[in-house]
Structure 1
Amino acid sequence: MTRPVGTFCLVLHTHLPWLPHAGTWPVGEEWIYQAFTASWQRVVRVIEQLDRPDTLTLGITPTVAAMLDDPYTLRQLHTWIANWQLRAAELAGRPDFPDLATYEWRAASASLADFENRWATGGSPVFSQLPVELLGGPAMHPFQPLLPSRLQRFALSVGLADARLRFGAAPAGIWAPECGFRPGLEQSYVDAGVSRFLVDGPAVRGQTHTAYPVAGSDVVAFARDLEVTYRVWSPKAGYPGAAPYRDFHTFDHASGFRPARVTGKHVPPEQKKPWDPAAAFAQASVDADDFVTRVRDRLLGLADQHGRECLVVAAYDTELFGHWWHEGPAWLEAVLRRLPEAGVRVTTLRGAVEAGHVGAAREIPASSWGSGKDWRVWDGEQVADLVAGNAKVADRLLSTVDDFRSARRDPVLDQLAREAMLALSSDWAFMVTKDSAAHYARRRAARHSENVHRLADLLYGGGRETAEALAGELRTVDGLFGHLDARQL
């Protein structure tokens, strides 16, 4: 067997905010269903069709794992897919989109059959059988660097325990939410049994050719290679912007389908050309070839520079492949098939460690994968009020648990912890900073924060019975992670 030119790790991060019972598009339940049918379901099929061990590294955040095991979500998802099929049938009755109607009918029918055969009883059995390395993470996806250490450790513990319950084992690696890091988090990882995690390339000054133990620990940090990663998607460009691809932002509003191709960056919706699946998927093949060439050339260049085989890590949100970029799963399958043919070892983060891609220990600075590669998205001027409110929520949670802790499990304190962790989700600050459904994000953060203070006020005011009733009501809406035990705080 020919010696590999180097190692490539693809890491996908499957995440959306916890949304069951939370409303409709643009940010509510509709988003979950689109992400499942357009991305998660299709990416899983790609992995299974490849039928190769250590295909890639897949981060399943606890919120996604909980959603796809939630009976309410599964019932609604089943109905949504059936309605997708009905919408396609209705479109077939119109003279303007006959080919699109056929395409959508077939896609909806395949999705429905797959859901009923495998997903209807939950996502955990499907994910746990994939030939991938699963990554976990802290519950509710908080921006860990801004949490008090005590609460950060609790969130991580709950998230890892959830993965253990759903998948049979706690993952050895995590996708740190937003790739957020501050010095000291590595000790929390050590204590939780986490041995590897993700940071962004600038956190290691672009020296992404190997992984690094964080100084003073055995926890290994893997950094995204932005030179390669940005070929697919960057803040300014990437393959999905090519003219033949399906345009995400242009709708036929009567049916809800996307009938147009990108056509051009500055072409208004009404002037975009019809989407041609054959041309679009042909473009995906061309772009897959280009990516394979870029990865191989990058690895050869790094080997010349460092005198040994090197590592390239590319990491993306899973939702890019299918939801935002319709042809993305086809591109993904082509890349994962063609890289080994080009002499590139394709493996997981675990496999990269086993292949020896671990360098000398180094300090990892405060960082993230957000704008500026610092914390400004989650701790900037636009979200100063959220940051201040979050600090009060964290303090209220910890002080209330300390004051009312008992030997017996307390459903009020458990729900108070859930509400606090939901309030502290990194998604709300991200959506506000990026002005993406910012009003919704503020409402969600405010709602959960208010629930924390209401429950605490009732306990301190002697209203135990009322607090228990309120906790029960809230648990029917946001009762995820039944194993969450506030006594662990």
Structure 2
Amino acid sequence: MLLNHSENPLKEGQKVSREIKGYLTFTLHSHLPYVLSHGVWPHGADWLNEATAECYIPLLDILYSLEREGIRPAMNIGITPILQEQLKSELFVSQFRSYLAQKKGLALEDERFFRKLGDRRERLARMWYEYYSRIETLFEEAFNADLLSAFARLQDSGSIEIITSAATHGYLPLLGTDNSVYAQIAIGVSTYKRYTGKKPKGIWLPECAYRPRYLWKNPLFESAKGINRRGVEEYLDKAGIKYFIVDSALLMGGRAIGVYLERYEALKRLWQQYERTYKARPEEPRSPYRVHYCTSRGSESKVAFFARDPKTALQVWSGEWGYPGNGVYLDFHKKNWPSGLRYWRVTNPKADLGEKLLYEPENVEGVLFEQSEHFANLCYGILEDFYAKNGIPGIIVAPFDSELFGHWWFEGPLWLKKVLANFFFSPVYSTITASEYMEQFPPVEVIELPEGSWGEGGFHYIWLNEWTRWTWKHIYEAEQTFVRWANELLESPDHNLRRILAQAARELLLLESSDWQFLISTWSARDYAEQRVCVHSEAFKEIISFAEKYNASGSLPDPLWERLSYYEERDKIFPDLDPTLWADKVVGIIG
């Protein structure tokens, strides 16, 4: 079963009157690469099934619970376009139903086995059976097997704001052409419109990675000729995006705190290599508690941005000394064989798997209360100090991967609910969506941001290093090839050529997913990621060969049309994709 939610004393229709001194905005970034039709277990569709059962449905559950209690969450939920496509897929719905049935069956098997042994894990196996049964009920009855619509209803009621992202989570600063940057953003906007009926106001840049306008050189070749590249914000402006989020180090200087290092041993080794040449920017007296405008030198575009608060971030991110590392919480790593269910608690962050003690869910509630109070009071102190110095309400921006809540940190959704309720009942502090704050307190300062991300050190080494250089070679070659075809298609009304190139574009987008470099660098699913790079690179080249044959003869033999249909069914994403988005005239390339 899900841990019990605390009853909230707010009665229906009751209002809380207050003069606000400061705001908190949670921004949860929901993303998984395209895994449907590309494996199930241990790598593939079960990633999506796990995230749905342990994160997306529990988050929806607490958000709707808050609504029923008269509490407006007022937070931002990012759902990447490629995740939206998967959550709307009939294949996902079918596989998720099978996944839940399997998990319930495994829990029952464990329960029977532990009962025979007189093992205390028997009650925990029953907990898991009840948990997955409740997830199943929520999925089928509360959300009608349509999670995107469930999130959209929360936006329509004013409880949350949904923001978009790049189409397949391409790492925008390293993409080789502005054409690709624009296409990733434009498809992110069009997919959002298709599923919500609205235009997105905000965007989560993949890995919070930003690049300004400058003379860019291909990082694979030292002698590469420089190319005038527009800043990422220029294409956000072109697409109608009003704001994005960056790490505080891009705004203030200093060392980026990173978000992944302690979770992946391979990243620690990479960081030790990179750190030898790394120098943090000098700190600058800028506040992350206000919204600013971003622009590039020589550009007329400006887009607002918010900066992650460094003081509160590690309280939630860190599994070592942050909230998720508390010994009473369910341990993520130790699993029972063969069921894969988890029966142990963290015990302490330094405990090895053999030292883990059994999970005791009855001890969780008190810790959740203490930690939610601690976080709220930490925020209140920051906001009080900012208000006293500046005379206007500041904003704490708390961006996290959604999958932290419920997947990595099983109790995370309930902690989140308690924090949101705490702010709702505060007489002088409140939660707010990012766009609401921007409307009430518009940016006044225009800043030229440096290049960077929220990775350790603030730059790109997680995604471009000795292990991943080869992937970028394939990406850059495919990008250049496709721009030439998009330019040609812009002058051609041929429907068949458009169909061929649309599927080539889908394979290019999937090839550009930043997930592959991340998985290679962390060694968490390296073989799978390397295979996916090869799969989409080879598919792209094959489909481009179809375009060449079609262009030469005006037709294709039936086996090649059948092969194209296979790719269209396997990688069934972005049905309204327009391959001319990559054309120079559409993008507005500068010379």
Q: TM-score range by the shorter chain?
A: over 0.9
* 1:222 partnered with 2:306: yes
**Is the contact between residue 411 and residue 471 of structure 1 (CA under 8 Å) also seen in structure 2?**
no
- Name 1:113's counterpart in structure 2: 137
3-state SS of 1:197 partner: strand
Choose from 62, 80, 90 the match for 1:61: 80
- Name 1:431's counterpart in structure 2: 519
3-state SS of 1:278 partner: helix
Moved more, 243-252 or 338-347: 338-347
**Is the contact between residue 202 and residue 242 of structure 2 (CA under 8 Å) also seen in structure 1?**
yes
In the alignment, the residues of structure 2 paired with residue 219 and residue 182 of structure 1 have an alpha-carbon distance, to the nearest angstrom, of 13
1:241, CA displacement in angstroms? 0.9
1:335, CA displacement in angstroms? 0.5
* 1:484 partnered with 2:577: yes
Partner amino acid, structure 2, of 1:59 = G
In the alignment, the residues of structure 2 paired with residue 308 and residue 165 of structure 1 have an alpha-carbon distance, to the nearest angstrom, of 38
- Name 2:316's counterpart in structure 1: 232
- Name 1:213's counterpart in structure 2: 293
1:322-377 Cα shifts (integer Å, max 9, x gaps): 00100001100000001233332201101211231634111111111112111222
* 1:399 partnered with 2:484: yes
- Name 2:542's counterpart in structure 1: 454
**Is the contact between residue 412 and residue 467 of structure 1 (CA under 8 Å) also seen in structure 2?**
no
**Is the contact between residue 35 and residue 323 of structure 1 (CA under 8 Å) also seen in structure 2?**
yes
1:28, CA displacement in angstroms? 1.0
CA separation of 1:336 and 1:351: change in aligned 2, threshold 3 A = same
1:35, CA displacement in angstroms? 0.4
- Name 1:82's counterpart in structure 2: 101
- Unaligned 5+ segments in structure 2 are 1-16, 213-230, 254-286, 583-591
In the alignment, the residues of structure 1 paired with residue 454 and residue 556 of structure 2 have an alpha-carbon distance, to the nearest angstrom, of 43
3-state SS of 1:129 partner: helix
Taking structure 1 as the reference length, the TM-score comes to 0.96
1:33, CA displacement in angstroms? 0.7
- Name 2:203's counterpart in structure 1: 174
Choose from 406, 410, 422 the match for 1:326: 410
In the alignment, the residues of structure 1 paired with residue 292 and residue 489 of structure 2 have an alpha-carbon distance, to the nearest angstrom, of 42
1:252-293 Cα shifts (integer Å, max 9, x gaps): 112211000011223222331100111123222211111111
- Name 2:62's counterpart in structure 1: 46
**Is the contact between residue 166 and residue 188 of structure 2 (CA under 8 Å) also seen in structure 1?**
yes
**Is the contact between residue 318 and residue 325 of structure 2 (CA under 8 Å) also seen in structure 1?**
no
Partner amino acid, structure 2, of 1:302 = F
In the alignment, the residues of structure 2 paired with residue 295 and residue 41 of structure 1 have an alpha-carbon distance, to the nearest angstrom, of 27
In the alignment, the residues of structure 1 paired with residue 521 and residue 387 of structure 2 have an alpha-carbon distance, to the nearest angstrom, of 39
**Is the contact between residue 5 and residue 300 of structure 1 (CA under 8 Å) also seen in structure 2?**
yes
Alignment map for 1:284-295 (pairs within 5 Å): 284-295=368-379
Taking structure 2 as the reference length, the TM-score comes to 0.80
In the alignment, the residues of structure 2 paired with residue 433 and residue 203 of structure 1 have an alpha-carbon distance, to the nearest angstrom, of 23
- Name 2:561's counterpart in structure 1: 468
1:437, CA displacement in angstroms? 0.9
Choose from 114, 135, 140 the match for 2:168: 140
1:485, CA displacement in angstroms? 1.8
1:120, CA displacement in angstroms? 4.7
Partner amino acid, structure 2, of 1:400 = W
- Name 1:102's counterpart in structure 2: 126
1:218, CA displacement in angstroms? 4.1
- Name 2:189's counterpart in structure 1: 160
**Is the contact between residue 246 and residue 280 of structure 1 (CA under 8 Å) also seen in structure 2?**
no
Alignment map for 1:185-264 (pairs within 5 Å): 185-205=232-252, 207-215=287-295, 216-234=300-318, 237-264=321-348
The number of aligned residues is 489
CA separation of 1:276 and 1:359: change in aligned 2, threshold 3 A = farther
**Is the contact between residue 378 and residue 430 of structure 1 (CA under 8 Å) also seen in structure 2?**
yes
Max radius of gyration: which structure?
A: 2
1:150-185 Cα shifts (integer Å, max 9, x gaps): 121112111211111111112111111111111111
- Name 2:179's counterpart in structure 1: 150
- Name 1:444's counterpart in structure 2: 532
In the alignment, the residues of structure 2 paired with residue 193 and residue 264 of structure 1 have an alpha-carbon distance, to the nearest angstrom, of 47
- Name 2:494's counterpart in structure 1: 408
1:391-440 Cα shifts (integer Å, max 9, x gaps): 11111222233345521342210100000010001111111122221121
In the alignment, the residues of structure 1 paired with residue 344 and residue 21 of structure 2 have an alpha-carbon distance, to the nearest angstrom, of 40
3-state SS of 1:58 partner: strand
The alignment's C-alpha RMSD in Å is 1.8
Choose from 13, 19, 25 the match for 1:3: 19
